[in-house]
Amino acid sequence: MVRLRIVAPEAAAGRALELLQASRSVSSVVVLPGAARKPKGDLLVCDVAREDASVLIDDLRELDIHRTGSIAIDQIDTLISDAAAAAEEHACGLASDAVVWEDVEHRSQEMTELSLTFAAFMVLSMLIAAVGILLDQPILIVGAMVVGPEFGPLAGLSVALVERRATLIRRSLSALAVGFPIGIVVTLLVTLIFDGVDLVPEGFDPKSHPLTGFISKPDFFSFFVAYIAGTAGILALTSPKSGALVGVLISVTTIPAAADIAVGSALGEWGEAAGASAQLGLNLVLAGVVTLYLQRRLYVSRRVRHLHDPARQRAGLPIGSSRASARRGAPRT
């Protein structure tokens, strides 16, 4: 279940209340008339089955509540209620498979912010990977994969492409276009310093490091792992249970590949890992887009069925069709 906190002017709040009371996927509806001061209006609180959260929020958007007031979404970890259980029973599907698209969009926006912290993590992760390559130590490569923050913009780019959100596309690409060059340049300079003070292991050959050579020699299995990792990453992003995300990060080898570009360039092996980095990045985005597209199609089907819910009529919304929605990706019927 998720909890909605709705602030709206009295007229809009009244229509929203009719919708919430009539929806069988909603329980524990609370009304505080006149409690809101900015904007002035009523405060509504309710619990909604996760499976129907986004379709119900779409109804609230049709009432223009997101323009005249606000809609806040909170995750409920534990809820003991027969009424809530009945609401979940009414909603088709499983809560663990349901996607709250508003939550995904918000998290994607947060992960694509180009900040000093993001750039710092890019640099630090590539430096760890560079040392792992120089010493041929896979454990350091794994550490670099976990520290690397690049999965956020890659996931954000997948969300933006599926929902056709130009602003999020620009933000994701900006983070990647700035973060990777900064990390590569700093790693290249540090590797040059290592080489200048004779810290590079004697006899190190950028073309031959058996335990970490997979970084610079992508093959079918590189494609396969990158695709599976991208799929798992998006599922972790859209699922309420995201414990698998650390495992996903360990499967993402874009940071080590970028670090290998810097190490190879510093030691005279230009572009050794360029193909690996581009290939893995592309595969991650491809997997994310495919996974999100399939999830989005399931949501659109649910939304179309929901348009025939009698609860919409109670709120003054048309049955079988939707008003022009401000929400991108909403089905047009």
The secondary structure of 75-122 as a DSSP string is E-S----HHHHHHHHHS-S-TTT---HHHHHHHHHHHT---HHHHHHH
* 203: its two tokens: 């006899």
Same domain, yes or no, for 148 and 276? yes
Asked whether residue 254 is assigned to any structural domain, the reply reads: yes
Question: Does residue 325 register a pLDDT over 50?
Answer: no
Domain with 92, as residue range(s), is: 2-98
266 within 8 A of 191, measured Cβ to Cβ: yes
Same domain, yes or no, for 140 and 78? no
Domain limit, last residue, from 98, 120, 138: 98
Domain limit, last residue, from 41, 76, 98: 98
**Closest to 295 measured CA to CA, from 155, 180, 119:** 155
Query: Distances in Å between the alpha carbon of 91 and those of 19, 54, 55, 67, 306?
Result: 16, 12, 11, 27, 10
Element (H, E) at 250: helix 245-251
8 within 8 A of 41, measured Cβ to Cβ: yes
Asked whether residue 251 is assigned to any structural domain, the reply reads: yes
The whole-chain average pLDDT of the chain stands at 84
pLDDT digits (tens, 9 = 90+) for 165-208: 888 899 999 998 999 999 999 999 999 999 889 898 877 776 66
Query: What's the count of helices (H) and strands (E) in the chain, helices before strands?
Result: 14, 4
d(CA 152, CA 111): 5
Asked whether residue 164 is assigned to any structural domain, the reply reads: yes
Domain limit, last residue, from 39, 68, 98: 98
**Closest to 217 measured CA to CA, from 256, 275, 133:** 275
Of the chain, the percentage scoring pLDDT greater than 70 comes to 84
Asked whether residue 320 is assigned to any structural domain, the reply reads: no
Same domain, yes or no, for 131 and 273? yes
Query: For the chain, how many structural domains are there in total?
Result: 2
The mean pLDDT value for 43-47 works out to 96
Of the chain, the percentage scoring pLDDT greater than 90 comes to 37
Indicate left, alpha or beta for 251 from its phi (over 0: left) and psi (-120 to 50: alpha).
alpha
Asked whether residue 214 is assigned to any structural domain, the reply reads: yes
Same domain, yes or no, for 164 and 54? no
CATH number of the domain that residue 278 is part of: 1.20.1080
49 three-class SS: coil
* 74: its two tokens: 């909170």
CATH number of the domain that residue 76 is part of: 3.30.70
pLDDT digits (tens, 9 = 90+) for 72-104: 999 888 899 999 999 999 888 787 788 898 988
Same domain, yes or no, for 250 and 135? yes
Asked whether residue 175 is assigned to any structural domain, the reply reads: yes
Same domain, yes or no, for 163 and 288? yes
pLDDT digits (tens, 9 = 90+) for 136-174: 888 898 888 888 888 888 888 888 899 888 888 999 999
| Confidence band of 327 (pLDDT split at 50, 70, 90) | very low
Same domain, yes or no, for 172 and 236? yes
Asked whether residue 219 is assigned to any structural domain, the reply reads: yes
| Confidence band of 216 (pLDDT split at 50, 70, 90) | low
Asked whether residue 48 is assigned to any structural domain, the reply reads: yes
- Per DSSP, 52 falls in state G
User: What is residue 315's predicted lDDT score, i.e. its pLDDT?
Assistant: 87
